[in-house]
Amino acid sequence: MNRRELMKLAATQTAVVACSMSPISTPAFGQSSERNSVTLKSELLELSLSWGPELQCKLVHSPTGMVLAEGPYSYSITGLAFTDIQQEGQSVEVQGKNEVGLQVRHRFTLNPATPWMEETVDFTNRSSLPLDLHGARAGFVLPLALEQDRVQGSWEDFRLTAIPFRREPSGHKRQYADFSLVQVLKSHYFSELWSAETTGTPAFAAEGWAWSDGKQGFLISKYSPGGLEFALVDRVALPQDRVGLRWGGVGIYRGNPEHGAWLHPGETHTFGVSRLTPFTGDWRDGYYTFRAEMDRRGMGCPQGFDPPVHWNELYDNKLWWLPHDEQDNPEMRRKYYTLASMKTEAAKARDIGCQALYMDPGWDTSFGSKIWDEERLTPYKSFTSMLSSEFGLKSSLHTPLSGWCDPSSYPEAAHRLDRFGERAQWDRSAGFSQPVLCGASKQYLETTLERLKVLARDGAAFFMFDGTAYHEACWDPNHGHQVPSRLEEHCQATCRLARMVHAEYPHVLIEMHDPAVGGAPLRDCPIYYGYGHCPEGEQVSDGLGFDTVWAFELMWKPMEDLLSGRAVALYYYNLAYSLPLYIHIDLRTDNSNALVFWWNASTCRHLGIGGTHPDEEVRRAQKEAMTSYRRLKPYFASGIFRGIDEQTHVHVDPGGKGAVMNCFNLDDSDAEREIRFDAAQLGLAPGKTYQFSGNYGFERSGDVYVGRVKIARHGHTLIEIA
């Protein structure tokens, strides 16, 4: 338990809504003649609801007759009874309350024009006391019978695959988030995604779940742009030695969403949308279904996305590699981070074919001040003009936020206040390990916004929002946030900052680290959190949110990350999202096959590189790779990603005119691999005879192509399809 969670539990509790773990009864559906009932239908699903003391439900997949839920809807809320049900078109809304003043409003929607069913839930505190809902959970229940650790009946072969992290960024070659129903019904969910240490929870949590037997599947997803929520699957005990798979609905997971876990008198919290979508096929088809839904919600790759390829000076800059926090030492900055050194890096960027010079820590007056150091580097407007005229480059900047910076350039009023009224003070000897700024304070946001706007005005093309991690609650009533402000206020404010910059400078690209944990192979927030317009109920800004997602800190040892299996997480991300990833990588770790370069070019729509390899052969291979990449960049930056397997990636022109195939060999020996694909399934135009670069002997049978490709050990083969 960390300090934040301990403080949360220590908060005054005057009323409690408890989580009930006792078995739930399962009378036959509709057995009581006193119940009111209603049925919603679409081509794929049929939902029957009836209410009385309990909410009874039955959900059927019409084409197969599979029962997805049956019996009482499970609420882990003591004493909840339903009192009203109303139908409006293709939606049904039920309302209930319990004896301590919690009102629940639950809406089910099954629109015949869409393939999915949706749920939304509101909690309202009608009492005069706060309500603690940290144990709240609600969901459909599928009754199942277990015998000798096997699920009986047609569900035996179904598995649940986490989306988008079937492989976690801190995982390895044997780590897959694929779970049998028996595992979900009998064991805990273990993950390193939310913590640097393995944590186990009764609920299995992800942004979505592909629930499939390889032929028929169902996507379970949660979409909550206003709160930190995840799709949960868990279990409930049932009579007669049965157990129920509980899915959908809402749940508080690891204390989030915080605003739904603790309700003040009169307060209402609306949880995000839960959705069930049938699909045909295996877990991969579930991933594609999820991606298509997120694209429709505006959480995808913008049309014609064309970010500049970055050259990152950090890898060759001695300043960064100094011990401790010497990067913030003014003397070291004057020695290693000069106008002359940046011109040297700009020349490297131009020569290899990059389009922007990305400047990491060192360009500002102090670490994270976001004030350009004119004394060392000339005025920023002159600098960006020089980059453009002399090197043909744009200017991109590392702009770390409150969680990782030297706070000395910020007003003390922006520092956190603890619950005893003490203002946090920065101990310079502790470096940046003890942040003191409140990232949700208006004083911090206003100061940071003005500094970023000056940089944008004078020519910045890109900001990296590093240093986003949340550290401590703040109790300052003059900061313009809730008191105390905790994780959600911090995350919302961080995302709001991007929108405020974009409101005036929409052309500046903004990369966002995880708003909760910053630069780490972790993910506390859903990927889409903070993208697009402000969610309803937040401070209004006309600007859109960030443009790219940080690729989970896989920048320092990219070859090791790839061969160990960690970087394979990027492949699964691209199956689930077309929202662009950003990475910069150390080319000094690459080989003569440019394996590191091509893997990251294939999985990150916005690419950054840096570091001069000591081997001339490797440098030549990387430059040739960049030439090919720049020529084919539209496929990589804005094309449609398809995965034949983990080591075979296809980037398809949105119009279906052609594609680029990246074939990788991560093994220790040379390989000859058969590659088989259906052109139509990849999004290529059916019926067309495609030509392949190289002598790979692809043959066509109908729309299916089969070829054999040789790939060197730790190598890469590029195939163009036209």
State the sign of the Cα–Cα–Cα–Cα dihedral 510, 513, 514, 515: negative
Region 653-679: mean pLDDT is 95
pLDDT confidence tier of residue 35, bands split at 50, 70 and 90: low
- Looking only at the bridges linking them, the beta strands covering 659-665 and 648-652 are antiparallel
The single-letter DSSP state of residue 428 is G
Percent of the chain with pLDDT over 90: 86
- Distance between CA atoms of residues 58 and 109, nearest Å: 14
φ, ψ dihedrals at 75, nearest 5°: -120, 120
Smallest CA-to-CA distance from 571 within 206, 295, 165 is with: 165
Region 213-225: mean pLDDT is 98
pLDDT confidence tier of residue 3, bands split at 50, 70 and 90: very low
The single-letter DSSP state of residue 518 is B
Region 258-278: mean pLDDT is 96
Q: What is the DSSP annotation of 621-688?
A: HHHHHHHHHHHTHHHHHHSEEEEEETTEEEEE-TTSS-EEEEEEE-SSS-EEEEEEEETTTTTPPTT-
The model scores a pTM over 0.85: yes
- Decide if pLDDT at 507 tops 60: yes
Mean pLDDT of the chain: 93
Domains in the chain with CATH codes? 3-18+37-296 (2.70.98), 310-550 (no CATH), 642-721 (2.60.40)
- Decide if pLDDT at 8 tops 80: no
The single-letter DSSP state of residue 539 is P
Which residues share a beta bridge with 662? Answer: 649, 718
Walk across the sheet containing 699-701 and list its strands: 671-678, 704-711, 699-701
Percent of the chain with pLDDT over 70: 95
Q: For 126-165, give one letter per residue: b (16+ CB within 10 A) or e.
A: ebebbbbbbbbbbbbbbbbeeeeeebeeebeebbbbbbbb
Q: 3-state DSSP call for residue 438?
A: coil
- Decide if pLDDT at 15 tops 80: no
- Distance between CA atoms of residues 503 and 173, nearest Å: 43
Residue 604 CB neighbour total at 10 angstroms: 25
Task: State how far the alpha carbon of 255 is from the alpha carbons of 41, 229, 462, in Å.
Answer: 35, 10, 34
Region 284-307: mean pLDDT is 97
Region 671-698: mean pLDDT is 91
- Cα 363 → chain centroid: 29
Is the pLDDT higher at 65 or at 23? Answer: 65
pLDDT confidence tier of residue 31, bands split at 50, 70 and 90: very low
259, containing H or E segment:
helix 258-261
Which residues share a beta bridge with 235? Answer: 245
Cis check for the bond before 202: say yes or no (omega within 30 of 0).
no
- Distance between CA atoms of residues 163 and 219, nearest Å: 10
pLDDT of 22 reads 32
| CB 634, CB 303: distance < 8 Å | no
pLDDT tens column, 92-101? 999 999 999 9
